[in-house]
Amino acid sequence: MIDIIKKQNQLTPEAADELKEVSDALFIPKDKLIINYENPLGSGVCSSVSRGFLRGPSPLIKLTGLIETQEFQDCDVAVKVALHFGDDEVDQMFREIESMKVLQYNQNVISMLGWRMLSGKPALIFELAEQDLLRYAKMLMSIVIKEFPFKTILSIFWQIAKGMEFIASKNIVHRDLAARNILLTNDFQAKISDFGLAVIPNSGMKESQVPKKFPVRWLSIEAIVEKLFTEKSDVWAFGVIMYEVFSLGQDPYAGIPTGNILGFLRSGERMGRPRLATNELYELMRSCWEENMETRPKFEELVPKLHSLLEDEAGCSTYYEELEENYEGLEFLQENETRVSTITLV
């Protein structure tokens, strides 16, 4: 894999040598990995994910030397296999492995346990998480309002903010932060995943040579206009995640063509408050969508705010009881001037 990256001239020679050292340390021999192809966990345009089982200790244990990683041995895993191996796939593989080198381990970041080649294509092996936040949010449409798991949702937001605070401390910009890329364990531990578009410091990556397709509906104004990505553009995307969850998985800017989103934002408009979000949480979302990036909060500021809301969540239970009384059996309309679809909570 490293030889292919070298041939594509995507790395400086020094960076390629450093990456080879790390990738070799993370290599998993064939006899250590069992893959179940019959029940895939998911698939996309560039890759598919299958359940697997890792025999023995993962390379991550040796790489980090941390007690927290000792659980990653003789364990179920997720195996992400590239469907193709062109320039974009090489780019993504590089960024995933390079991110692992920088981040190593954090409880709110998905852990890459190692990698290997399968049928001539690279496969990345991750710790297993059963579902993603977007799927979970859509599942909540089937519950009654007063049973909305407000405390769990706040805990998830707090964990994402903590994970992003850690990522930002390493000077990494994620650039693809969305509910679909937040994985959840069975006990609702949130894990930030998919670093295929990440900006990684001192990686030797020749950024201008790599074509990318960015998720416009999660991008800040400066990211759309100037291709300027910083922690503050990730903060903007965090606000969009909050909207996704409180709208029960609705697409951001529903009903607005992608080409019109920039004009919508530059006119000062923003997505309206989902009915399931309290005024205080909507104000937090809006602070993430400030046009002036300097006035947006940092993740280190969002963490204590969300923790405080989590501690005070008991006082918000009446909010959902009132919603249940006022709107039971009615359609929930998104307060967005341009919204078109409705969501029914039964």
Q: Is 87 a residue of the active site?
A: no
Asked if 330 and 324 touch (Cβ cutoff 8 Å), the reply is no
Structure tokens at 51: 């359940």
Taking the CA atoms of residue 215, residue 306, residue 310 and residue 218 in that order, the dihedral angle to the nearest 10 degrees is: -10
Is the Cα torsion angle 57, 61, 67, 71 positive or negative in sign?
A: negative
Rounded to whole angstroms, the Cα distance separating 223 from 234 reads: 10
Q: Evaluate the CA torsion angle 49, 51, 52, 58 in order and state its sign.
A: positive
Choose the catalytic residue: 74, 76, 88, 176: 176
How many whole angstroms separate alpha carbon 129 and alpha carbon 132?
8
Question: If DSSP states are collapsed to H, E and C, what string results for 24-61?
Answer: HHCECCHHHEEEEEEEEEEECCCEEEEEEEEEEECHHH
Structure tokens at 321: 């009881």
Which residues participate in catalysis according to the annotation?
176
